[in-house]
Amino acid sequence: MRTRASISSRSRSSVIGRPVYRPAVSQDPYAGIAAIYDHWCAEVTEDVPFYRMVCGGADGPVIEIGGGTGRIAIPLALSGHRVLAVDRSRPMLERLRERAAAAGVAELIEPVEADLEHLPDLPRTDRVIAPFRVLMHLQDDAARARFLTAVAALLVPDGLLAFDVLEPTRADIRTTQGLLMERPSGVREKARWDERARRLDLDVSYRGHATTMRLHWVPGARWPALLDDAGFEVLAAYAGFAGEPFRGERGDSAWIAARR
């Protein structure tokens, strides 16, 4: 599959052994790594042009679900978009505030502390995005359906939803299962894949910062039905961010759907 930094892939990492600890999955798994998130994800840049393209021509504001520290929100704001960055992690949103101020776009980005499973009142808009596998925090089809239905209600007709997700390949699972890997950045990851439950528990640690997060996947080919049921028409599906069409294979997929 395409290599993206973070969320275990063997490439550009070295196996350094098997750790003895197994931290619990926490309510806000990003709290423990907010300070190192940008270091962890420094190599992840390939999706920025995709989300910029999706948001081109938007009347806005762009609603970013799981806005994090602004990795996508800040480039969008630098392109002139107003962004509402919804995230349940206060430490991630604090980083976003600092970074947006440093980039000179604080006035264009509004952090909204909220859970994506219980979206607050938000303005209707023509763009909603959920970059970098945010929807993998939804644990089952019922939660996915509720979320997509709530997003459809936020969008004006023909408004766009764009997101990307991962369905790991068998090789991803086989080559990283249970192994402590160190990335060139020094960030350590350990993936525990449960293929039957389609669930990943991922430990991340770096210089005293550590977390364990739980992520869920569905076969990529399932997204069209989920989107259709929630009132969306799929406009484009890609097997990554270089424009290659999605043909149902495992790996990353990126979706653009319009509210009917």
Ligand X SMILES: C[S@@+](CC[C@H](N)C(=O)[O-])C[C@H]1O[C@@H](n2cnc3c(N)ncnc32)[C@H](O)[C@@H]1O
Residue numbers at the binding site for ligand X (CB under 6 A): 30, 41, 66-68, 71-72, 87-89, 92, 115-117, 131-134, 137
CB of 20 to ligand X, least distance (A): 27
> Which lies closer to ligand X via its Cβ, residue 41 or residue 77?
41
> Which lies closer to ligand X via its Cβ, residue 72 or residue 148?
72
Q: Are 126 and 160 in contact (CB under 8 A)?
A: yes
Encoded amino acid at 56, one letter? G
CB of 233 to ligand X, least distance (A): 24
User: In terms of Cα–Cα distance, which of 175, 128, 181 is closest to 154?
Assistant: 128
> Which lies closer to ligand X via its Cβ, residue 2 or residue 228?
2
- Residue 64 is inside which H or E element, if any? strand 62-65
**What stretches of 93-250 adopt beta strand conformation (E)?**
109-113, 125-130, 155-167, 180-182, 188-194, 199-206, 209-216, 232-238
> Which lies closer to ligand X via its Cβ, residue 113 or residue 158?
113
CB of 114 to ligand X, least distance (A): 7
Tokens 């420094």 map to which residue?
Answer: 42
Secondary structure class of 95 (helix, strand, coil): helix
Residues 140, 35: Cα–Cα separation, whole Å: 29
Tell me the backbone φ, ψ of residue 118, rounded to 5 degrees.
-140, 75
CB of 41 to ligand X, least distance (A): 6
CB of 260 to ligand X, least distance (A): 25
CB of 216 to ligand X, least distance (A): 11
Contacts of 102 (CB under 8 A, 6+ apart): none
> Which lies closer to ligand X via its Cβ, residue 48 or residue 234?
48
> Which lies closer to ligand X via its Cβ, residue 77 or residue 134?
134
Strands in 125-130's sheet, in edge-to-edge order, are 109-113, 83-87, 62-65, 125-130, 155-167, 251-259, 232-238
